[in-house]
Amino acid sequence: MSKEVQGKCLCGAVKVKAQKADDNVGACHCSMCRKWTGGPLLVVDCQSSVKFTGEEHITSYKSSDWAERGFCSKCGTHLFYRLLPKNQYMVPAGFFGNENELKFDHQIFMDEKPDYYSFANDTLNMTGAEVFAMFEDENQ
């Protein structure tokens, strides 16, 4: 199930509205996400239904051939991880303020997760190779 949600960065310069935000939360344990956030990246899939106001305050960084990461240039709030081929936005789970309505259901890049933390939730767990294989299958 998905629904419309909206939120803003810490300073309020950037506002985000997502018309199709998923109710499920995923965690990415890859080394880039951990370096970017200081821990696992917890996100909701908003597909391509994302609209921004205050775009002049959005800075993006192309972190790979297939993705970019966006943040507010004024306060540094992480705004999105975007998969370029599908224009698919993953927005941090706490951004919209609806955390009590979300279900943590999947984790990716489990083969890169460090040993110093672990989630107790029963989730679908995928390695990096499994994630890339899934994207290849979707694009064929």
Q: Which amino acid makes up residue 92? A: P
Distance CA 82, CA 75 (A): 20
More confident residue, 135 or 62: 62
pLDDT higher than threshold 90 for residue 31: yes
Is the Cβ–Cβ distance between 123 and 108 less than 8 Å? no
**Residue 134: predicted pLDDT:** 84
Q: What long-range pairs does 134-139 form, CB within 8 A, spacing at least 24? A: 139/85
> Could you give the angle at the alpha carbon of 62 between the alpha carbons of 57 and 64, nearest 5°?
160
User: Sign (positive/negative) of CA torsion 38, 21, 87, 131?
Assistant: positive
Nearest to 92 by CA among 28, 11, 140: 28
> Using CB atoms within 10 A of its CB, is residue 127 exposed (0-12), middle (13-18) or buried (19+)?
middle
Domains of the chain: 2-138 (2.170.150.70)
Using a 10 angstrom Cβ sphere, with 0-12 exposed, 13-18 middle and 19 or more buried, the burial of residue 17 is middle
Would you tell me how many other CB atoms lie within 10 Å of the CB of residue 58?
18
Other beta carbons within 10 angstroms of residue 104's beta carbon come to 16
How do residues 64-99 score in pLDDT, each as one tens digit? 999 999 999 999 999 999 999 999 999 999 999 998
Cα–Cα distances in angstroms (integers) from residue 16 to residues 38, 46, 121, in the given order: 23, 11, 28
Three-state secondary structure call for residue 114: coil
* Res 135 pLDDT > 80: no
